[in-house]
Amino acid sequence: MTAMLTGKVALVTGAGSGIGRATAKVMAREGARLAISDVNVEGLERTASALRAGGTEVLAVTCDVTDEQAVAGMFEQIMGRFGRLHCAHNNAGVEGTYARLADTTVENLDLTYSVNLKGVFLCLREELKHMLESGGGAIVNTASIAGIEGARNLPAYVASKHACLGLTRTTALEYASRGIRVNAVCPGPIKTPMMDNIVASKPGLEGPMTQAVPMRRLGEPEEIAEAVAWLCSDRASYVTGHGMVIDGGMTAGS
């Protein structure tokens, strides 16, 4: 079987760690040329080195997705290098602080919304513009199961991921007839530095969290990456507006 993304140019944000790094690697394996970005310069460089070592053409752009000018500049660089963008994974995100709503600060709400919602919005706007000009494309946003149900002690995060899913469905509707598919992945708990931070802020959380997953384990970043690559590929040609849950059965019922 031929690789899924041969000939495609793909962007992954938040590619310096966790799910973003895994997605960049799977997309490279599937034949894509990669634009990768992150605010974490060191993490981004590690991902870029791994991709280049595997023979993939990579453009690494340090970019804060909450900064409108920086995002516009990133797309200028992508177009300058590749001339085209076929696929995008809007994945950069933050978990914010772990606290109940009454103990959640406005600063935490602003930060979480700024990265998880405004960041996705700014990237989507550029992606849609460029994909419209060049005949279409496929976009996958990283939402969460926190985008479809509540999660105690993460009120700002949950609200931002519900918003991300709403943005996904709306843009899918708006651009479905113009050759652009927009989907989301909704991961359950995945073993990444973000999950390490959550577990570190609430010692004793990991055991009950693992028990809450019917498969009795946390997910691996690669298990999300495989779905993102598929959703970005032409094999998912009739899929749009979908929030794909990948959670070891966690939201299937009690």
Enumerate binding residues for ligand NAI (CB under 6 A): 13-14, 16-20, 38-40, 43, 64-66, 91-94, 115, 119, 142, 144, 187, 189-190, 192-195
Residue among 69 and 177 whose Cβ is closer to ligand NAI: 69
Q: Which of 98, 157, 175, 238 is catalytic?
A: 157
149 Cβ contact list (under 8 Å, min separation 6): 251
> What is the rounded CA–CA span in Å between residue 123 and residue 93?
13
In the complex, the smallest distance separating the C-beta of residue 58 from ligand NAI, rounded to whole angstroms, is: 16
Nearest to 90 by CA among 161, 179, 177: 161
175 noted as active-site residue: no
Residue among 61 and 128 whose Cβ is closer to ligand NAI: 61
What is the full DSSP assignment across 216-247? SSPBPHHHHHHHHHHHHSGGGTT--S-EEEES
Residue among 132 and 213 whose Cβ is closer to ligand NAI: 213
Q: Which helix (H) or strand (E) holds 35?
A: strand 33-38
Task: Report yes or no: 9 and 32 within 8 Å, Cβ to Cβ.
Answer: yes
In the complex, the smallest distance separating the C-beta of residue 2 from ligand NAI, rounded to whole angstroms, is: 28
Residue among 176 and 200 whose Cβ is closer to ligand NAI: 200
Q: How many CA atoms lie within 13 A of 218 on its CB side?
A: 16
In the complex, the smallest distance separating the C-beta of residue 119 from ligand NAI, rounded to whole angstroms, is: 6
In the complex, the smallest distance separating the C-beta of residue 154 from ligand NAI, rounded to whole angstroms, is: 10
Active site residues: 157
